[in-house]
Chains A and B, each alone.
Chain A
Amino acid sequence: MIRQKLTQKVLDLPKTDLARVGVLIALLLLGAVLSPGYLSVGNMRIILLSVAGIGIVAYGMTLVVISGEIDLSVAGIAVLSGMVGAALLPSGSAVLVISATLATGICVGFINGILTSVIGIPSLITTLAMLGIARSLANILSGGQAAYPDAMPEYLWFGSGTLFGLATPIALLLIIGLCTIVLTQYSAFGRALYATGGNSRAAVLSGIPVKAVKITVFMISGFLAAMMGMLESARLSYINPAAFAGVELEVLAVTVLGGAALAGGSGSILGTLVAALIIGVVNNLLNQLGVSIYVQQVVTALVILAVVLPGLRSRIFAK
């Protein structure tokens, strides 16, 4: 019975995403009207590149939010893992640098998961503290100095290479999206995830390893945050310990806009992907209209506020 309901819930989600796709198409048309050449392949590529990193982290955030927790440490993880990789640059081994970067993300995510689900510190506090800790460690490790991975083409490939004929960040956005969609909607883990966030106690009583589920999603979130850090650093060929300030709110905005409720138990990766594209199109439009980045910051804040207002939300994104 519960299983049937859960499956139904999972299958119903794409329908609610239709409303978001509608908003996205409307925005694209608006862009086409406001600025000629908006719908060109070149501009689409720019939009996709601009949201690839945010989108990839937002997948992880969506998983964490579905499980009923939150991860504010993504920016900290991205810089710390970046600086761990940077410290290994002199070794000259791309495999070492890339795997150390991603492993650091997974490790920090694991610590977040342990502190939250085993020790019982609210994830809001765990990850807020971890954001500060990881940022400080990144600075301490690097002495506040940025690093330049110019001499490592494998590293740079993550930012400026191509995969299956697409720019690597765009290809990764789509591939990781597909993997997480399969994970959430067509696997036993996905069902356990929705059950954990929907009613943690019921999930425990029905034998779902709730703690393990939460630790796993924090590890995935950490991994994807490290991945985002690497994509962006590689794109700029510049690993900066002060990067990604405030990125957690942008990611959270995308996640919430994508339909994940902070109470847990609902949300979809597809919704998050569409939401990332919406944010990308809005920012791209504002850029083309010459609006400053700080105004964009305020607009992002207002968008997230508008989406979380419960009344407004059910009006816009009702089934």
Chain B
Amino acid sequence: MNATTINAPRTSFMRKLAWDPLIWLILGIVILGSLTSPYYLTLQNFDTLMRSMAVIGLLALGVTVVLLTGRIDLSVAAIMIFSVILAVVLTNAVGEALGLRWLVKGSTFVGSSWIFVALTILIGGLAGLVNGIGVAWLKVSSFIMTLVMLTALRGGNFILSSGRPYYLQTPAIDWIGTATIFGVPFSFWVFLAVLVFLAWLIGATTFGRRIYAVGGNEKAAAYAGLKTDRYVLIAFVISGLCSAIAGVIFTARLRSVDAPLASGYELTAIAIAVIGGTALSGGIGSPWRTLLGAMAFAGGLNLLSIWGIGTWYQNLAVGLALLVAVGLSPASRQKIRL
């Protein structure tokens, strides 16, 4: 078996793109934005747009991989904040073990950025692993498992931080939050790197085809000899890792982390994946399509902000967009595994 027998022929790619309603939606948003606000087509706005897209895009990529296996992940936003907070606490503990004061003025973190970033990503992966073990091995429904994870980690965030924010003030974290390379924010490069890696992993490897197989028809995949549990487990780990990476760039930009941050982002992440065409029933979707979903979504929210429409209306728009996207997607309107 080689990849071309399964993937669509390349010649039709541009043609498919031209017929894609999402492309037109994105174009429409850009045209509408540039017509209604002189601020829209400025470099500064695109900078803002790319930064916000990087965070929700990373979460949506993780959710996409999990959705492809026919599961759902509601814990991405909680993992994102939890991994950062726990990493601050643990890095501080490492500092104390070395006899260094890495937490000054009570809650300002000035320790080793490398240990912090490595621990954040490790914790994200481990949280994903716990989700994966619960869903794949213990057979808890993914929706319950990740909802439990969401609640437990949100509670954990408050316990670990005592409800106060941690300020992150090291040169490296500052750099991650503010640097641009060729005019593009570093965080956006990170998002693109993860996107390209996942697109390759899902679209061009045996592993990816098996993820689709598990999501498309799990029983058939199992009868064909796939260890389906393993692929589900790995999908959750990937999602956890994506969340942690998103956590690093999100908090680096804010230079602080606070327990209730990013609540409700799980809804945005799922909405982006679904708008990008990922089916809730599994087996349909791709990271590239999620990129388009993220562009449309971040673009839409950016436009609402520029028009001065408040957060409440934006949340309303997120909910409505999710309903419309799922309502219009025939593959998602089937009964999904609860």
Contact = CB atoms under 8 A, between A and B. Distances in A.
Given A140-B313, A140-B316, A309-B140, A121 B145 contact: no
B315 A298 contact: no
Interface string A38-77: 0000000000000000000000000000000010000000
Interface string B18-40: 00000000000000000000000
A297 B140 contact: no
Nearest to B260: A245
B336 interface: yes
Interface string A281-311: 0000000000010111110111011001111
B158 interface: yes
B17 interface: no
B227 interface: no
B152 A124 contact: no
Nearest to A264: B338
Given A121-B327, A292-B159, A129 B336 contact: no
B274 to A, nearest CB: 8
Contacts of A137: 316
A103 interface: no
Q: How large is the interface on B (under 10, 10 to 19, 20 to 34, 35 or more residues)?
A: 35 or more
Interface in A127-153: 128-133, 135-137, 139-140, 144
A144 B315 CA distance: 14
Contacts of A262: 141, 143-144, 338
Contacts of A249: 147-148, 150-151
A27 interface: no
A124 B333 contact: no
* Prevailing SS type, chain A contact patch: helix
Given A136-B316, A310-B139, A121 B155 contact: no
Interface string B121-165: 000000000000010001111011101111110111011000000
Nearest to A132: B319
Contacts of B171: none
Interface residues of A, number: 42
Contacts, number: 122
Nearest to A120: B333
Given A298-B152, A302-B152, A136 B158 contact: no
A263 interface: yes
Interface string A96-140: 000000000000000000010001111011101111110111011
A171 to B, nearest CB: 30
A170 interface: no
B72 A124 contact: yes
A246 interface: yes
Contacts of A252: 144, 147
Given A115-B327, A133-B320, A136-B315, A295 B138 contact: no
Contacts of A301: 148-149, 151-152, 155
A87 to B, nearest CB: 15
Interface string B86-126: 00000000000000000000000000000000000000000
Interface string B216-251: 000000000000000000000000000000000000
Interface string B298-338: 00000000000000110110111011001100001111101
A300 B322 CA distance: 29
B159 to A, nearest CB: 5
* Prevailing SS type, chain B contact patch: helix
A127 to B, nearest CB: 10
A32 B307 CA distance: 60
B280 interface: yes
B192 interface: no
A249 B146 CA distance: 11
Contacts of A120: 333-334
Candidate in A120, A131, A311 with the most chain B CB atoms within 10 angstroms: A120
Given A125-B280, A298-B156, A136 B319 contact: yes
Given A119-B333, A140-B313, A262-B144, A132 B264 contact: yes
A297 B159 CA distance: 10
B320 A129 contact: yes
A305 B134 contact: yes
B267 interface: yes
Interface string A9-44: 000000000000000000000000000000000000
Given A124-B336, A129-B322, A129-B323, A297 B280 contact: no
Contacts of B274: 125
A136 B338 contact: no
A281 B279 CA distance: 42
B8 to A, nearest CB: 27
A308 B144 contact: yes
Interface string B188-231: 00000000000000000000000000000000000000000000
16 contacts: A122-B332, A122-B333, A122-B334, A122-B336, A128-B322, A129-B326, A132-B315, A133-B323, A136-B315, A136-B319, A263-B338, A294-B159, A297-B152, A298-B155, A301-B149, A310-B140
Given A132-B316, A305-B148, 9 more contacts: A119-B333, A121-B327, A122-B336, A124-B143, A133-B316, A252-B147, A294-B159, A297-B155, A298-B159
Interface of A: 70, 115, 119-122, 124-126, 128-133, 135-137, 139-140, 144, 246, 249, 252, 256, 262-263, 292, 294-298, 300-302, 304-305, 308-311
Interface of B: 72, 134, 138-141, 143-145, 147-152, 154-156, 158-159, 264, 267, 270, 274, 280, 312-313, 315-316, 318-320, 322-323, 326-327, 332-336, 338
